[in-house]
Amino acid sequence: MSAPVAASPEATAGRGLASSLKRGVFWNYGGLYFFYFAIWQIFFSFHGLWLAEKGMGEGNIGLINTVMAITALCLQPLYGYLQDRLGLKKHLFAFVVLCGAAVGPFFAFVFPPLMAWSMVGAAVVGGMFMALVLLAGVSVVEAFNERASRANDFEYGHARLFGSLAGGTITLVAGWMWANVNPDSIWWAASFCAIVLGTLLFVARVPRQAAESAANGETSAVKVSKDAVKRLLTDRSFIGFVVLMFGTAALYDVFDQQFSIYFAEHVSHGDPVTLFSYVVTIQIFLEAFVMLIAPWFVNKIGAKRGLQLFAAILVIRVLGSALVTTTAALIAWRLLAAIEMPLMLVSVMKYITRRFDVNISATAYMLGFGVAKSLGVAAFSLPFGHAYETIGFANAYLIMAVVIIAVTVIANFLMRDDRDAEPTEIDDPQEPELLEREPALA
C-alpha cells in the first residue's frame, strides 16, 4: 500500500492563510518553526561576542563555524535517509530537540573547562555539538515540517514565516538578557526554547489518515532503496538543482558573511554597526511579510522560475553593492534579502515535491539543498575571502555576480519545468521492494 499522495499544486494554490489561521495544527507547526529558529538566532547573533568575551580568538571562533559545516556535511545524507524512512514519525526531530535542550548545560558546565584545557579542542567539540542542533538539525526540521504541511493540508511557506518572526523578536529579547541579566543567560534561554519546542512537537497532530494506517499495522515510513536514491541522483533536473544551489544558495551566504564590514566602510555618518543591526531587523520582519505571499506567487509562476528569480535578485544585490555604495543604496541592497529568502525556501520545497519522488523528499532536500549549499560555502568562502583582501570587495562582488549568472544558465538547461508536474510517488511494479513497508516503530 502506498503512502498518502501529497496534495496537487492546484489544491495547494487554493489554500489561504485565513483558513490556515483558524486551524490549531497550523499554529502548532508555526510554533515549531518559531522556537527552533529562536535557538538558531540566539547562537548566530551572539556566539561570536560571547566566545570573544571568554577569551577565544577570531581564528578559533572561525574554526567552530568550519567544524559545524563539515559535521553537517557528513550528517545530512544520513539524516535525509533516516527521515525518509521515518516519514511523519518524530524520532529524529526529537533528537534535535534534545540536543537543543542541552545547549544551556553545555555552555555552562562543559565548554568552559574545554576552553581551559584547549581552545582548539573546545572549538572542535563545540562546533560538532552545535551542528547537531543547527546546521545539520535544521535540515531535519525543514524536511519534517514540509512533509507535515502537505499531510495536514496547509502551506509550508505560511508556517515557515514564524521562523522569520522568531529571528526578529528573539534578537531583541536575547540582547536585553545579555545587557540586563548576564551573557550566559542567553544559552539557558536557548534551552528554554528547546523545551517549549519539544512540548509542541509532542502534541503535534499526526494526520488522521496516517493514524488510521498505523492502527491497521501500517506506517507512513518507506524503505528507501538504493535504486530510489540512484534514480534521484541521475535525474537531470536534480543535477541542475544541485548546480543551482551550489552556486546561488551558497553564494547568498558567502556574500552576507562579510557584507557588514563592507557596509560599515561606506557609511560615513552615525554608528554604522547600529544602523546595520536596525536594517537587518527590518529585513527579517519584511521577510516574514513576503513569506505570506510567496507560496501563492510561486504557485503562479512555478518553482523553477521562482528559483531563477531568486538568483536574479541575488545578482542585482551583488552587482548593486559593487557599483552603487551610497548609504541609501546599501540599505536597499540588504533589504532585497527579504524577497530572496522566502522565494528560495518556498521554491526549493515546491520544486522537490513536484519533480522528485515525495517518498524521498527529505533525502532530496538534504542532498540537493543542504549538502550542495554546504559544499558551495566551503568552496567559495576562502577564495572570496582572499579576494576581499587582495582586489577589494567591489571587484570580488563583480566576479561573484558572474559565477551566479553562469551557474543559473547551466541549471536552466538541466532543470525541467514544474508547472505541470504533480507531486509524485514512484511505485515501480518491477521493483516492489522500492516502497516496501517497514514495521511500525514503537
Count of beta carbons in the 10 Å neighbourhood of residue 367: 23
Predicted TM-score of the model (pTM):
0.71
What percent of the chain lies above the pLDDT cut of 90? 22
- Which of 203, 221, 239 represents a domain boundary (last residue)? 221
For residues 343 and 207, membership in a common domain is answered with no
Contact 228, 357 (CB under 8 A): yes
Mean pLDDT of successive 10-residue stretches along the chain, which has 442 residues: 39 56 78 89 78 76 76 81 77 90 91 88 88 84 80 75 80 77 88 93 71 43 66 89 92 80 78 76 84 86 92 94 91 91 88 81 80 82 79 91 95 85 49 36 32
- Look up the domain containing 322 and give its range: 225-442
The three grid cell numbers given for residue 48, joined into one nine-digit string:
561570536
For residues 96 and 159, membership in a common domain is answered with yes
Nearest CA-CA partner of 25 in 200, 166, 169, 195: 200
Nearest CA-CA partner of 194 in 136, 110, 133: 133
Residue that the C-alpha cell 560615513 belongs to: 268
For residues 285 and 195, membership in a common domain is answered with no
Nearest CA-CA partner of 191 in 103, 87, 68: 103
Instruction: Report phi then psi at 42, rounded to 5.
Output: -60, -45
For residues 26 and 114, membership in a common domain is answered with yes
The three grid cell numbers given for residue 399, joined into one nine-digit string:
566576479
For residues 367 and 266, membership in a common domain is answered with yes
406/419 Cα distance (integer angstroms)? 24
- Which of 169, 198, 221 represents a domain boundary (last residue)? 221
Contact 46, 167 (CB under 8 A): no
For residues 62 and 202, membership in a common domain is answered with yes
158/165 Cα distance (integer angstroms)? 12
- The answer for residues whose C-beta is within 8 angstroms of residue 230's C-beta and 6 or more apart is none
Beta bridge partners of 424: 357
For residues 207 and 230, membership in a common domain is answered with no
321/312 Cα distance (integer angstroms)? 14
202/214 Cα distance (integer angstroms)? 17
Contact 46, 188 (CB under 8 A): no
- Which of 171, 194, 221 represents a domain boundary (last residue)? 221
Instruction: List, for residues 115-133, the tens digit of each pLDDT value.
Output: 888 888 888 898 899 888 8
For residues 304 and 440, membership in a common domain is answered with yes
For residues 60 and 7, membership in a common domain is answered with yes
101/193 Cα distance (integer angstroms)? 8
Helix-helix angle 337-355:156-180, to 10 degrees: 140
For residues 123 and 263, membership in a common domain is answered with no
For residues 28 and 114, membership in a common domain is answered with yes
For residues 121 and 208, membership in a common domain is answered with yes
Question: How many domains would you assign to the chain?
Answer: 2
CATH number at residue 430: 1.20.1250.20
Instruction: List, for residues 297-351, the tens digit of each pLDDT value.
Output: 998 899 899 999 999 999 999 999 999 989 999 999 999 998 998 899 889 988 9
